[in-house]
Chains A and B, each alone.
Chain A
Amino acid sequence: MRKVFIIATWEIKKIFTNWKKALAIFLLPAALMMGALNLFPALINYLATGAWNSNTIIVINSPESFKEYVEETDGTTVYKYEFISMDDLSDPDNIKILSEKNKSSLMIGFFVEKNGNKFDNEIRHYYSDLSEGNKDAKSNAYVEICYNESVPGLETKAEQFQETVITPYGDYLLDTLGGSYASSGITPFTTNGFNPIGKMLDYRTSANQGASRVIPGIMVLLMYYCTYSLVSDIFAAEKERGFYNKLILSPVSRKNILTGKLLAIMGIVSVSAIVTLLMMFISSWINTSNDAMSLLPFGMWLTPMQVVYIIIQIIPAALLMGAITINIVFNTEKIQDTIMCLQYPLVLFLFEFFIQMFRWTRPLTLEFFVPLHNTAQFTRDVFMSEEHWWRALITITVNTILALHIIKKTLRKELSK
């Protein structure tokens, strides 16, 4: 056992003597992904609309009250407003033309149906009706939020806008235009007026849902990339150099050499996976703009138990990846073939990543019997807070058994040479 550790520490130390390699393994892929995730929404926005800043709201025929409201809340929201007036609103083509021109912008219009009242007057009228005890008081005022259907994610943005601006604006109207009705204690209570923990939980829900689509795929992909570059250094290059023969000739059994190297790979890959996770975490927490199209929204959160779950299932997955890559290395002769074969799973994982991105169903239990795929699915479960200990058990057992099987087979073949 001592020798296994000697070999493992040797390999780990070797990685750190080459800072470029260490950087390439630990930080580069995760950092790149982080950048991609954060740039994605902006990029998509730009491509879809041709504008970088998509938070401009076009306000058609704004009443005085909304202008005042905007002034008062200036700086508290991300939105910028552009006020325009339009005479002929009855013609839908006018709005269509406007929407074509400003694809990424939401448009809001203030209307009063039927009677020709002004918007503010209608509200005033309504409240005074109410304070007089008229139960049939009816307001014809409404706000219309339009978005361009062809721009992905704009509908969510419209909903977000309604929630963060229009609803508080309604309350503001009551305060300013409510007159005597407002002073009669119209809001008996508030819900979650100040509830930091509830707020954190809400953020966590949306962030973890986003994460459950993106992170499982990325994690497996980057873990494999890390294994691949490690193995091509620890095994493929060493075999090519003949250094591997030197190791074999030492009085350490091949099993121990392999175990030591696998241990090193497993350790480094697990650590790099955890680094990736950490990066994703940071990526979520620096995403304060919380754009509707963010892949990783603000406030991702895992309980300590969930972190433990992820870590314990990363390790067998790393082992299995190590086993697969080693099998490839030992069964190919030329280094070109080795590298080609090593890259092949990378492409498969990339496909899986895309499908996972657009998947909306929960995984079947059967899926947990598919090695490596189960790691991704279990990570997804953890982020969705649907993790079950028995699924973790299946994942770990399946991956470990397959890994050991492949290692055993590889070793047997290697010994018979």
Chain B
Amino acid sequence: MPNAILHISVQFIVAISLMFFTFGLWWLRWFYVGDEVYNVIMVNTPQSYTEYAKENEIFINKNLMRTWDANYDYITFGRWMRSDDAYMTVVFPSNFDELVESGEDADILTYYRTNSLEYMYYKEDFIKNELEGYKQYIKEQKGITIAESGAVGTNIYGISTSKEDIHSAAYFTKMFARTFIPLVAFIIVLYLSMSSGTNVIAGEKERGTFAAILMSPAKRVNIVIGNILGVTIKALIPSVIFLLLVFIPTTYRSLSGVIGFFSVFLLLISLGIFIASITILISVLNDSVVSAQTAFLPIFLVMVAVCVTCIQSVGEAANFYYMLPVYGHFYGIGDNIIGEGNILNTIICLITSGLFSYLCIYISEKLLHMERFTVSGNQITDKEIRRAAKLVEEQSHDYVSKPRATIFDFKGTKRIPTLSFFSDQIVYPLVVLSIFQLLALIPTAIMYMRKPEYSQFIYSLKDVSGVPEVISKSFEIMAIFLGDPAFLIFMSIGYMGIIITYFLRVKYKEKGSYITLGLGGTNKLRNYAKGLALGLLLMGSVYLVLIITGQLTPSMPTLTAGNILTIFAGILMWLPQGAAEEVMFRGFMLPRQGARYGTKFALIFSSVLFAGFHSMNVGFTPLAFINLFLIAFFFALLDLYAGHIWYSCAAHTMWNFLQGNVFGLQVSGNQGAATLLTANYTSNAKDIITGGAFGPEGGLAVTFVTIVAIVILVVIKRRNKHFLHQN
């Protein structure tokens, strides 16, 4: 016997006795209360509350009264609570008394500390006692009549359908006998069946001795039944001893006790056979002890789950359950111990479980006939060998021998299944984008919760319901954030993070060069400058089209220092933003999709994805989809001709910057906050041309300009094969 077994048994016994010991110490206050603190910090305490406290002799600690304008600034409150040993902060709106006076919405906020779960109940008590009293006090002050009783009384009561007193000791003993004892018996039988049952056939197969047994002239059914009996006996000996110990004090009483004893004995045997036959079936299905046990584990858990459900509804279950195997065994053992067993139910349970066991035996026997002779070679099944062979073959063709198109020097990587290729192309950018944008949003959101001037705005969110309202509110919030240089810088860092993840992915996962992201080429700086000029040309033409068709008239707003800072931060944000989107949708997707499915596919699919990713934005229309597709197509074509993405990176950045921070238009539904020019849509402006809330990218002006741009690009390329070509 290994001494670790001894160790762990002693440990277990000590642990269990200590746990039960604490149950006996329920009167010790310590078991309910830890080191909680009891102070309350009051923020912006109104005059009326102090008066109310004075009148009702509620103690208010003057040192814990603070003034603070930001109602949602839980970070500051948390700091106060930690330094002042307070468990809760109660925040009144700063003009609470006036609000109450004028009958407007006044909302008191409470925050509590996280270092004890008790504080929630403390908080609820505080609200129920102090704040409700305060409410009454205000009502009285305002001269509103208050009655002693409320309008509607509520009454919760339980209807008892059982006849016993559930608080008596006898009831407790009974419940113990009906829950704990069957549970122990079940676990003993399950565990012992598992360890011996998985060992016999599966273990013999693993050791190679099963062949000899199958070769012997014994009938298969005899092999199965013999094994089942062996397992049953092994599993039953300890559980029968356990039950005998339980029974000795009760059996002598009467005849029903004796009948009960035999019922329990029979039930146990049938349970043992039932579980053993399941184990043997699993053993036949598997080739090694470990795999058989892995397969048995779910059944073990299900059985334990069934035991728990039985415990929950003991004495209440419908009669039907008494006749089923497992349920019937559990209830039957419990009921017979306390002498309330029903012989008929027991018999039916024995029969049904016998039928189930027979089914298992039948299947096991058929399986043994079918496979005839199963001996594993080193625990490996045929399937695994086939898999391994396939894997070796796949590994030998590790690299796609001929990529269908080589874009940006990308030679192809390991071939992966089609489904995972597409999910990779779609899910990866989605995940990366959402993670980094969320990371930029969280600190900004916290920052704004700490600003007093936004408390009212946050409170107004309480009435938001329904999807359209949530979306429009979230764009309202985005508009606020976009006017904040700090957020723009967070976003800028986030976009840089996206670019870095792509670099790392290419370097460590594909083990390739960053050039395959389209970032190669000579004269990078000059190309970037050219791209900026291109962006200026494109967006400028769109703007001109809008002005010429009389859609809008520009005007110059006065610039403040804050605005200039925001515009500057905007430049910082658009730089990595354009680059990140280009890396994601052009630099990464074009070569990878191209290598697998050809250039045409890559052009179209990456553009569809680009348009699709913007479809969540506000004011999105089918026309916007077409426009975004066309823009993406133009950029992709440009990159393809150039052999790098520097032009489109720059053009993308310039396009967005001009739209958002210069011309004052929406960028794919996002309204920039600070602009050089203001766009005033004229009265005869048409959404179909201007794109409405989505910005020009949702209107025909952009369609026109991009189509012209694509046509020009293609025409020049046809005329001059060396146009844009590297070197």
Chain A residues near B (Cβ < 8 Å): 24, 28-29, 32-33, 36, 40, 43-44, 47-48, 50, 95-96, 99-100, 123, 126-127, 129-139, 141-152, 154-155, 158-159, 162, 166, 169-170, 173-174, 184-195, 197-198, 201-202, 204-206, 208-209, 225, 229, 232-233, 237, 303, 323-325, 327-328, 330-332, 335-336, 339-341, 343-348, 350-352, 354-356, 359, 361-364, 366-367, 370-373, 384-386, 402, 406, 409
A120 → chain B closest CB, angstroms: 11
A47 touches B309 (CB 8 A): yes
Beyond A149-B159, A155-B158, A371-B11, whether A185 also contacts B103 by CB under 8 A is yes
Give the residues in chain A near B462, CB-CB below 8 Å: 193-194
* Alpha-carbon separation in the docked complex, A203 to B135 (Å): 26
Does residue B527 face the partner (Cβ distance < 8 Å to A)? Answer: no
Give the residues in chain B near A202, CB-CB below 8 Å: 120
* Alpha-carbon separation in the docked complex, A298 to B422 (Å): 33
A162 touches B154 (CB 8 A): yes
Beyond A150-B162, A201-B112, whether A130 also contacts B145 by CB under 8 A is yes
Chain A residue at minimum C-beta to C-beta distance from B388: A17
Give the residues in chain A near B147, CB-CB below 8 Å: 126, 129-130, 134-139
Chain A residue at minimum C-beta to C-beta distance from B289: A339
B247 → chain A closest CB, angstroms: 22
Give the residues in chain B near A339, CB-CB below 8 Å: 195, 199, 289, 293
B18 touches A127 (CB 8 A): no
* Alpha-carbon separation in the docked complex, A151 to B8 (Å): 38
Does residue B74 face the partner (Cβ distance < 8 Å to A)? Answer: yes
A147 touches B156 (CB 8 A): yes
A139 touches B290 (CB 8 A): no
Beyond A232-B290, A364-B22, whether A150 also contacts B161 by CB under 8 A is yes
Chain A residue at minimum C-beta to C-beta distance from B191: A347
Give the residues in chain A near B301, CB-CB below 8 Å: 32-33, 36
* Alpha-carbon separation in the docked complex, A323 to B107 (Å): 58
A123 → chain B closest CB, angstroms: 5
Give the residues in chain B near A40, CB-CB below 8 Å: 305, 308
A142 touches B154 (CB 8 A): yes
Chain B residue at minimum C-beta to C-beta distance from A205: B120
Give the residues in chain A near B12, CB-CB below 8 Å: 348, 351-352, 373
Does residue B218 face the partner (Cβ distance < 8 Å to A)? Answer: no
A185 touches B156 (CB 8 A): no
Give the residues in chain B near A330, CB-CB below 8 Å: 2
Most buried by B among A100, A150, A158, A352: A150
B60 → chain A closest CB, angstroms: 18
B18 touches A370 (CB 8 A): yes
Please pick, from A170, A195, A352, A366, the residue contacting B150 in the complex, using a CB distance under 8 A.
Answer: A170
Does residue B252 face the partner (Cβ distance < 8 Å to A)? Answer: no
Most buried by B among A139, A191, A323, A363: A191
A94 → chain B closest CB, angstroms: 11
Does residue B240 face the partner (Cβ distance < 8 Å to A)? Answer: no
Give the residues in chain B near A132, CB-CB below 8 Å: 145
A207 → chain B closest CB, angstroms: 10
Chain B residue at minimum C-beta to C-beta distance from A99: B159
* Alpha-carbon separation in the docked complex, A139 to B153 (Å): 8
Give the residues in chain B near A95, CB-CB below 8 Å: 159
- Contacts A147-B157, A335-B289, A367-B19 known; list 9 others, CB within 8 Å: A134-B147, A135-B147, A149-B160, A151-B316, A195-B111, A205-B117, A331-B4, A359-B19, A373-B11
Chain B residue at minimum C-beta to C-beta distance from A302: B114
A–B Cβ pairs within 8 angstroms, 22 of them? A28-B294, A32-B297, A44-B309, A139-B150, A139-B153, A147-B156, A188-B100, A188-B106, A190-B106, A192-B108, A194-B458, A201-B111, A205-B120, A331-B1, A331-B2, A339-B293, A352-B15, A355-B16, A356-B19, A359-B22, A361-B22, A364-B22
* Alpha-carbon separation in the docked complex, A355 to B187 (Å): 14
* Alpha-carbon separation in the docked complex, A135 to B15 (Å): 60
A324 touches B459 (CB 8 A): no
B3 touches A331 (CB 8 A): yes
Give the residues in chain B near A188, CB-CB below 8 Å: 100, 106, 135, 138-139, 142
Does residue B146 face the partner (Cβ distance < 8 Å to A)? Answer: yes
Give the residues in chain A near B318, CB-CB below 8 Å: 50
Does residue B427 face the partner (Cβ distance < 8 Å to A)? Answer: no
The stretch from B26-34, B473-481, B539-547 touching chain A is: B26-34
What's the tally of chain B residues with a CB closer than 8 Å to chain A? 99
Please pick, from A36, A48, A189, A323, the residue contacting B4 in the complex, using a CB distance under 8 A.
Answer: A323
B321 → chain A closest CB, angstroms: 8
B149 touches A147 (CB 8 A): no
Please pick, from A361, A370, A385, the residue contacting B114 in the complex, using a CB distance under 8 A.
Answer: A385
Chain B residue at minimum C-beta to C-beta distance from A132: B145
A63 → chain B closest CB, angstroms: 10
* Alpha-carbon separation in the docked complex, A355 to B13 (Å): 13
* Alpha-carbon separation in the docked complex, A303 to B194 (Å): 40
Give the residues in chain B near A359, CB-CB below 8 Å: 19, 22-23
Beyond A201-B120, A362-B30, whether A191 also contacts B107 by CB under 8 A is yes
* Alpha-carbon separation in the docked complex, A99 to B161 (Å): 9
Does residue B298 face the partner (Cβ distance < 8 Å to A)? Answer: yes
B152 touches A123 (CB 8 A): yes
B438 → chain A closest CB, angstroms: 16
Chain B residue at minimum C-beta to C-beta distance from A159: B156
Chain B residues near A (Cβ < 8 Å): 1-5, 7-9, 11-12, 14-16, 18-19, 21-23, 25-26, 30-32, 34, 72, 74, 96, 99-100, 103, 105-112, 114-117, 119-120, 127, 131, 135, 138-139, 142, 144-162, 183, 187, 191, 194-196, 199, 203, 289-290, 293-294, 297-298, 301, 304-305, 308-310, 312-313, 316-318, 321, 458-459, 461-462
Most buried by A among B4, B109, B196: B4
B294 touches A229 (CB 8 A): yes
Chain B residue at minimum C-beta to C-beta distance from A354: B183
A190 touches B159 (CB 8 A): no
* Alpha-carbon separation in the docked complex, A95 to B159 (Å): 9
* Alpha-carbon separation in the docked complex, A149 to B131 (Å): 34
Give the residues in chain A near B4, CB-CB below 8 Å: 323-325, 327-328, 331, 406
* Alpha-carbon separation in the docked complex, A395 to B462 (Å): 45
A24 touches B294 (CB 8 A): yes
B107 touches A194 (CB 8 A): yes
A142 touches B153 (CB 8 A): yes
Most buried by B among A24, A232, A344, A402: A344
A135 touches B7 (CB 8 A): no
Most buried by A among B19, B109, B293: B19
* Alpha-carbon separation in the docked complex, A325 to B8 (Å): 11
Give the residues in chain A near B19, CB-CB below 8 Å: 355-356, 359, 361, 363, 367
Chain B residue at minimum C-beta to C-beta distance from A184: B144
B139 touches A186 (CB 8 A): yes
* Alpha-carbon separation in the docked complex, A47 to B135 (Å): 46
A139 touches B159 (CB 8 A): no
Give the residues in chain A near B149, CB-CB below 8 Å: 138-139
Beyond A43-B305, A47-B317, A348-B8, whether A142 also contacts B22 by CB under 8 A is no
Chain B residue at minimum C-beta to C-beta distance from A151: B316
Give the residues in chain A near B293, CB-CB below 8 Å: 339
* Alpha-carbon separation in the docked complex, A145 to B112 (Å): 32
Most buried by A among B31, B105, B290: B290
B11 touches A192 (CB 8 A): no
* Alpha-carbon separation in the docked complex, A345 to B5 (Å): 8
Give the residues in chain B near A137, CB-CB below 8 Å: 145, 147
Chain A residue at minimum C-beta to C-beta distance from B315: A150
A185 touches B18 (CB 8 A): no
Most buried by B among A159, A205, A335: A205
Give the residues in chain A near B305, CB-CB below 8 Å: 36, 40, 43
B73 → chain A closest CB, angstroms: 10
Chain B residue at minimum C-beta to C-beta distance from A306: B114
Beyond A201-B112, A328-B2, A362-B34, whether A147 also contacts B127 by CB under 8 A is no
Most buried by A among B150, B156, B310: B156
Beyond A192-B107, A193-B105, whether A209 also contacts B194 by CB under 8 A is no
Give the residues in chain B near A332, CB-CB below 8 Å: 2
